């Protein structure tokens, strides 16, 4: 198993302040550590989204884009018009170097993304929803900026799917008639660390 410098601490974060400091410090070595653990969610999420969506013309927001691994996966699957946002300036600097994104901006989705309603065709949220990262209520903010019939792909490790009631929140939104669940699959998240995860594709109704 690869040496973990920051990864294991991620699951111990308790609030927004700790999370911000953690990712600012981790930014420089994030890609090295996460890829050593065979981070599978970016590719799984991009593949799932591509199976339900055209790739050429649609406008995507990569929420919590981090260093840009999820954006790279989206590009590999043919998506071209990709914006990204994150609350860590250091991570955004890393993402900028990928040359994947049309636009990058600083945002905390627990507050507001600060963009107009129904502007994006699709949204990608890979490894974003978590205890001390982005809370489940942020799903409504994601839906606010998503166009009618737009798609939201979420990649989440198994601990947060169950522990932070993400599955329950998705069921609640479906019962309210806000979304339709198109796809849901359990598989690898960080296999070298022994962590599985869920990928789900939701359609805004």
Which is more confident, 6 or 122? Answer: 122
Q: Report in angstroms the alpha-carbon separations of 22 from 30, 62, 88, 128, 172.
A: 11, 20, 10, 14, 31
Which is more confident, 143 or 17? Answer: 143
What are the two backbone dihedrals, phi and then psi, of residue 168, each rounded to the nearest 5 degrees? -65, -40
Work out how many domains the chain is built from and give that number: 1
Describe the strand order of the beta sheet including 59-63 as a list of residue ranges: 103-106, 81-86, 59-63, 120-126, 146-157, 195-204, 179-190
Please, where are the H alpha helices in 108-156?
138-145
Residue 135 DSSP SS3: coil
Measured distance CA(173)–CA(52) in Å, rounded: 20
Give the side-chain half-sphere CA count within 13 A for 139.
Answer: 27
Judged by average pLDDT, the poorest of 18-32, 92-106, 124-138 is 18-32
* Domain range enclosing 165: 7-204
Measured distance CA(197)–CA(166) in Å, rounded: 12
2 falls within a domain: no
| pLDDT tens string 115-159 | 999 999 999 999 887 654 566 778 999 999 999 999 999 998 887
Measured distance CA(184)–CA(202) in Å, rounded: 9
CATH number of 173's domain = 3.40.50.150
Task: Report DSSP state, residue 190.
Answer: E
Of the pLDDT bands very low, low, confident and very high (cuts 50, 70, 90), residue 75 is very high
94 falls within a domain: yes
52 falls within a domain: yes
55 falls within a domain: yes
| pLDDT tens string 48-66 | 999 999 877 899 999 999 9
Match 């792909």 to its residue by tokens.
153
Task: Report DSSP state, residue 166.
Answer: H
Q: Looking at residues 176-203, what average pLDDT do you find?
A: 94
190 falls within a domain: yes
1 falls within a domain: no
Please say if the pLDDT value at position 14 is more than 60: no
């Amino acid at each position: 198993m690869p040496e973990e410098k920051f990864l294991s601490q991620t699951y111990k974060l308790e609030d927004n302040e700790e999370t911000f400091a953690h990712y600012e410090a981790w930014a420089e070595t994030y890609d090295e550590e996460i890829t050593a653990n065979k981070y599978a969610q970016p590719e799984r999420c991009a593949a799932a989204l591509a199976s339900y969506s055209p790739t050429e013309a649609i406008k995507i927001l990569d929420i919590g884009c981090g260093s840009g691994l999820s954006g790279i996966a989206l590009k590999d699957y043919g998506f071209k018009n990709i914006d990204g946002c994150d609350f860590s300036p250091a991570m955004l600097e890393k993402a900028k170097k990928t040359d994947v994104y049309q636009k990058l901006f600083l945002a905390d989705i627990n507050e507001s993304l600060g963009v107009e309603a129904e502007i994006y065709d699709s949204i990608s949220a890979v490894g974003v929803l978590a205890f001390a990262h982005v809370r489940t209520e942020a799903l409504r903010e994601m839906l606010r900026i998503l166009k009618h019939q737009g798609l939201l792909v979420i990649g989440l490790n198994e601990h947060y799917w169950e522990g932070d009631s993400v599955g329950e929140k998705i069921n609640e939104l479906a019962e309210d008639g806000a979304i339709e669940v198109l796809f849901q699959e359990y598989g690898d998240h960080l296999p070298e660390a022994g962590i599985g995860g869920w990928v789900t594709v939701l359609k805004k109704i």
